[in-house]
Amino acid sequence: MAIHEPQGNWWQPLSKDEKIWFILALVWMLVSFLYMPIQHFIGVQNPPSESYRVSAEDFEALIEAQEEKYTVGEENGFPVVRPNPDEPVYLKASMWEWTPVLELEKDKTYKIHLSSVDLVHGFSIQPINLNLMVIPGIDYVVNLKPTSSGDFRILCNEFCGLGHHTMVGKINVI
Amino acid sequence: MSDEHNGFHAPGTFVLAIIFLVTFILLWLGHAKWLTDIWEMY
Amino acid sequence: MSFEKRTCEISGLEIEKNSESMIKLNMATAIIFFAIGGAAGLLVLLTRWPAIHLLPVEWYYRWLTAHGLLALLVWIIFFEVALVHFGSVTLLKSRLAVPILSKITYGLMLGGTLLVVVMVLGGQADVLFTSYVPLQAHPLYYLGIILFAVGSLIAFIHFFINAVVAKKEGEYKRTLPMVSFGIMAASIIGIMSIAHGAAIYIPTFLWSLGIIETIDPSAYRLVWWGLGHTSQQINVCMMVACWYGIAAFLFKAKPASEKLCRSAFVLYILFINVASEHHLLVDPVFSTWHKIVNTSYVMHLAVLASMIHAFAVPASIEMGLRKQGYNNGLFEWLKKAPWGNPAFSATFISIVLFGFLGGTTGVIFGTEQFSIIRHNTWAITGHFHGTVVAGTTIAFMGMAYFLIPVFFKRDLIMPGVAKLQPFVYGTGITILSITMMAAGTFGVPRRHWDYNFSDAPFGYQFDSTVDIFMGLVGIGGLIAVVGGAMFVFVTLGSIFKGNKRA
């Protein structure tokens, strides 16, 4: 009984059903585990792992330079930037905005540099539901290829103060 | 080794456990499919 | 050695006086905080229910913080301190080695809790449960958390002092009983977890005082989750120990293989620590291989342990009931099981729901690639309501139904309500958890005041099916609140007003 000290030799072989269950559970865990490294070789959706340190000032400067070069319009007070797919793209999170609005081409791969200039934010593209963390002081390099076109929203899904729920940005894919 | 360690001691639980494992795998496969619906990223 | 004790007529346990009063105190305190934490949960629920949207934004986040702290930390850890005493004194037929330590534990934990609650509801700590830097709270908030943690650390250390004393005094010869073994595993994990807590909350406290200039946000997340997730494994261990305990008390059940079950507890101890990094799968900074090895390889070994217990416990119940003669077919034992005994029904519901709701989704959401489509959505909230509420909380409810008559020497009041309670609560949490996960699948964020984004520069409407899920979360939540209230009435009512036994 589990509430008394076991008597005699309790280091006994398993019963048949328990043994089968243990093997099935082990095999399934191995499959689930091996999927992850294998998916990095055969899958096309993987968490990016390239990142660098960047200061808030340097990142702001990169955002401004990009705006000067590639702004094509304005939407609700935000510059609309249509970047060149061959160059790095910058997207800034701050309380409580995503700047700028990005205009991307479908099926082109962009190198998007994500960073925050104040708190931790959560980068969440809807309605496709793609989620990443944005950390202040860290430049997260995301190779992203939009495979559907239309208007997309970027929500913030990490609490960042009382205006958190108003932090919505936009991506247009054409 | 005594008889105690041969055969099924808890066949009912074993069936429940298999139902659990099948649910688990189906849910997992569902996620593997839903993952391919998002944009390409690495 | 002789000390003051009595023999319980229900369980046959020998109950030592000093530990008895501490178990009673911690259990009653836990239930009171469960009630307050549940009420906070109701306010949060009614705010996220779009039809009601009760609280203004700042109060939503404050009550959300309070709900997390009280329901996840305070209720559960006070109950666990009671279990630490139960496992290291009562089950070993021993005595409380250092009674003053138990009192210090209780004082620090209660003081810390009150400080934290005052700070949060006073608007001095709008940082949520995780308090990710550079979001900053009042220094007293961090101090409150530190006091609470130190208190529980002393309790976990006290387990080992008690166990050593019991062995020296010859109360057991070779090894602990299985339930105590599980509580010991929980205590080891508890000490590990609080070491991480100290490593992160002490610098953060100094930072809030201006003594340290900056805390690296990424390093904070890494170390904080060493506390945040590892502490959940304390809960899992304690929950599994309760499963084995109830199975043994009610059915004289014996684990089919002590060898396998004890090894599974060892797997928890060895592997849960780094596995907690599965919270960082879509973070920058950590490399792919770091994530795969730490979060995934190691997490699967901890999950393997849960799958072992998930089989072993019902199997031991089945074997116990088959011995009582319910031997026909595959499921006669299950049909004839004592479903009217809330200690049993709560335990069985906890096993099933923990596995199907919390366990499966935990492994899936903790898979590196799948994290991309689930991280920080409401699916995560749904998942941990499947583990911590449907699993740990319901298991503790079952244990409370069993322990209250044993320690308070009073009968349960309203037995009809007690009989229904685990089913009502389990149903509510099941609906809540599943529909939260469904809404999260469509991208609804967790910790979010307004899913209509009415004040945002760009509006956004979720798929219309999400509205149905949001409503169902509200309904499931209300059913759970009713079930939780039933639990509070029955247990507190029994503690204070139940019929006294001789």
How many residues appear in chain C? 502
Could you give the CA distance from residue A136 to residue C217 in angstroms, rounded to a whole number?
7
Contacts of A32 in chain B (CB under 8 A): 28
Strand partners, A123: A132, A156
For residues C139 and C204, the answer to whether their CB atoms sit within 8 Å is: no
* Residue B1 in this model has a pLDDT that exceeds 60: no
Q: Which candidate from A24, A109, A148 shows the least CB-CB separation from B21?
A: A24
In a domain, B40, yes or no: no
Could you give the CA distance from residue A102 to residue A80 in angstroms, rounded to a whole number?
6
The stretch C379-389 carries a mean pLDDT of: 96
How many residues appear in chain B? 42
Write the DSSP string, chain A. -TTSPPPS----PPPHHHHHHHHHHHHHHHHHHHHHHHHHHH-SB----EEEE--HHHHHHHHHHHHHHHEEEEETTEEEE---TTS-EEEEEETTEEESEEEE-TT--EEEEEEESSS-EEEEEETTTEEEEE-BTEEEEEEEE--S-EEEEEEE-S--STTGGG-EEEEEE-
* Residue C37 in this model has a pLDDT that exceeds 80: yes
C376 vs A: CB within 8 A: yes
Instruction: Kindly state the tokens that stand for C47.
Output: 């705010």
Write the DSSP string, C351-399. HHHIIIIIIHHHHHHTSTTTHHHHTTBHHHHHHHIIIIIIIIIHHHHHH
The reply to whether residue A3 touches residue C311, judged by beta carbons under 8 angstroms, is no
The reply to whether residue A165 touches residue C455, judged by beta carbons under 8 angstroms, is yes
Contacts of C317 in chain B (CB under 8 A): 13
The reply to whether residue B40 touches residue A147, judged by beta carbons under 8 angstroms, is yes
Query: Exposed (0-12), middle (13-18) or buried (19+): which is A142, by Cβ within 10 Å?
Result: buried
Q: Which candidate from B14, B36, B41 shows the least CB-CB separation from A21?
A: B14
- In this prediction, residue C142 has a pLDDT band, given cuts at 50, 70 and 90, of very high
Interface of A with B (CB under 8 A): 12-18, 20-21, 24-25, 28, 32, 35, 43-48, 109, 125, 128-130, 142-148
The residue written with tokens 């809790």 in the block is: C113
* Count of structural domains, chain B: 1
- In this prediction, residue B6 has a pLDDT band, given cuts at 50, 70 and 90, of low
Alpha-carbon distance A43 to nearest alpha carbon in chain B (angstroms): 8
| Subunits with 3+ C-beta pairs closer than 8 A to A | B, C
Which among C90, C41, C378, C30 has a CA at the least distance from the CA of C235?
A: C30
The stretch C253-267 carries a mean pLDDT of: 89
Q: Which candidate from C371, C445, C455 shows the least CB-CB separation from A157?
A: C445
* Domain parsing of chain C, residue ranges: 1-174, 374-502
| Subunits with 3+ C-beta pairs closer than 8 A to B | A, C
* pLDDT value, residue C3: 79
In a domain, B41, yes or no: no
- CB interface of C with B, residues 163-182, below 8 Å: none
In a domain, B31, yes or no: yes
Instruction: Kindly state the tokens that stand for A80.
Output: 């609309």
Could you give the CA distance from residue C41 to residue C67 in angstroms, rounded to a whole number?
5
The H-assigned helical ranges of C49-177 are: 57-67, 75-85, 99-121, 139-168
* pLDDT value, residue C60: 96
The reply to whether residue C330 touches residue B11, judged by beta carbons under 8 angstroms, is yes
Range of B30's domain? 3-35
- In this prediction, residue C289 has a pLDDT band, given cuts at 50, 70 and 90, of confident
Could you give the CA distance from residue C178 to residue C158 in angstroms, rounded to a whole number?
18
Q: What 3-state DSSP class applies to C98? A: coil
The reply to whether residue C255 touches residue A133, judged by beta carbons under 8 angstroms, is no
* Residue B2 in this model has a pLDDT that exceeds 80: no
User: Residue C93 — φ and ψ, nearest 5°?
Assistant: 55, 35
Which among C130, C111, C245, C97 has a CA at the least distance from the CA of C183?
A: C245
* pLDDT value, residue A7: 84
Residues C445-500 have pLDDT tens digits of 999 999 899 899 999 999 999 999 999 999 999 999 999 999 999 999 999 999 98
Alpha-carbon distance C247 to nearest alpha carbon in chain B (angstroms): 14
Which among A92, A88, A30 has a CA at the least distance from the CA of A58?
A: A92
For residues C280 and C225, the answer to whether their CB atoms sit within 8 Å is: yes
Could you give the CA distance from residue C75 to residue C56 in angstroms, rounded to a whole number?
26
Could you give the CA distance from residue A153 to residue A165 in angstroms, rounded to a whole number?
13
Alpha-carbon distance A42 to nearest alpha carbon in chain B (angstroms): 12
Could you give the CA distance from residue C237 to residue C171 in angstroms, rounded to a whole number?
24
Contacts of C367 in chain A (CB under 8 A): 32, 35-36
C415: left (phi over 0), alpha (psi -120 to 50) or beta: alpha
Instruction: Kindly state the tokens that stand for C188.
Output: 């080891």
The reply to whether residue B35 touches residue C311, judged by beta carbons under 8 angstroms, is no
* Residue A58 in this model has a pLDDT that exceeds 90: yes
Nearest residue in A to C182, CA atom: A2
* pLDDT value, residue A57: 96
For residues C346 and A25, the answer to whether their CB atoms sit within 8 Å is: no
Alpha-carbon distance B29 to nearest alpha carbon in chain C (angstroms): 10
The stretch C285-310 carries a mean pLDDT of: 85
For residues C111 and C70, the answer to whether their CB atoms sit within 8 Å is: no
A108 vs A147, B38, C104, CA distance in Å? 8, 15, 63
Helix axes C178-208, C217-228, angle to 10 degrees: 150
* Residue A61 in this model has a pLDDT that exceeds 50: yes
The stretch C350-373 carries a mean pLDDT of: 94
Average pLDDT, chain C: 93
The reply to whether residue B28 touches residue C356, judged by beta carbons under 8 angstroms, is no
The H-assigned helical ranges of C122-138 are: none
- In this prediction, residue C501 has a pLDDT band, given cuts at 50, 70 and 90, of confident
Which among C406, C497, C498, C412 has a CA at the least distance from the CA of C19?
A: C406
Could you give the CA distance from residue C258 to residue C378 in angstroms, rounded to a whole number?
38
For residues C26 and C81, the answer to whether their CB atoms sit within 8 Å is: yes
C123 vs A: CB within 8 A: no
Residues C190-205 have pLDDT tens digits of 999 999 999 999 999 9
* pLDDT value, residue C67: 96
- In this prediction, residue C154 has a pLDDT band, given cuts at 50, 70 and 90, of very high
* pLDDT value, residue B3: 46
* pLDDT value, residue A13: 86
Percent of residues, chain C, with pLDDT higher than 90: 84
The reply to whether residue A131 touches residue C377, judged by beta carbons under 8 angstroms, is yes
In a domain, B28, yes or no: yes
The reply to whether residue C245 touches residue A3, judged by beta carbons under 8 angstroms, is yes
Cis amide bond preceding A127, omega within 30: yes
AA letter at C42 = L
Q: What 3-state DSSP class applies to C39? A: helix
Query: Exposed (0-12), middle (13-18) or buried (19+): which is C277, by Cβ within 10 Å?
Result: buried
The residue written with tokens 């509200």 in the block is: C474
User: Residue C153 — φ and ψ, nearest 5°?
Assistant: -60, -45
Task: Tally Cβ neighbours within 10 Å of residue C214.
Answer: 9
* Residue C397 in this model has a pLDDT that exceeds 80: yes
Query: ipTM of the predicted structure?
Result: 0.94
Start-to-end Cα distance in chain C: 26
Task: Tally Cβ neighbours within 10 Å of residue A9.
Answer: 8
The reply to whether residue B24 touches residue C360, judged by beta carbons under 8 angstroms, is yes
Are β-strands A110-116 and A89-94 bridged in parallel, bridged antiparallel, or unpaired?
parallel
* Residue C214 in this model has a pLDDT that exceeds 90: yes
The Cα angle at residue A141 between residues C217 and A103, in degrees rounded to 5: 115
The residue written with tokens 């079950």 in the block is: C261
Could you give the CA distance from residue A158 to residue A133 in angstroms, rounded to a whole number?
8
Helices (H) and strands (E) in chain B, counts: 1, 1
In a domain, B42, yes or no: no
Instruction: Kindly state the tokens that stand for C280.
Output: 């960082």
AA letter at A160 = C
For residues A35 and B28, the answer to whether their CB atoms sit within 8 Å is: no
Contacts of C316 in chain B (CB under 8 A): 10
For an interface test with B, which of C258, C291, C296, C311 has the most B Cβ atoms less than 10 Å from its Cβ? C311
How many residues appear in chain A? 174
The stretch C344-367 carries a mean pLDDT of: 94
- CA of residue C362 relative to chain centroid, distance: 15
CB pairs under 8 A between A and C: 235
In a domain, B29, yes or no: yes
The reply to whether residue B10 touches residue C334, judged by beta carbons under 8 angstroms, is no
Which among A146, A173, A24, A53 has a CA at the least distance from the CA of C284?
A: A53
For residues A66 and A90, the answer to whether their CB atoms sit within 8 Å is: yes
- CA of residue C18 relative to chain centroid, distance: 26
Interface of B with C (CB under 8 A): 9-17, 20, 23-24, 27-28, 31-32, 34-35, 38, 41
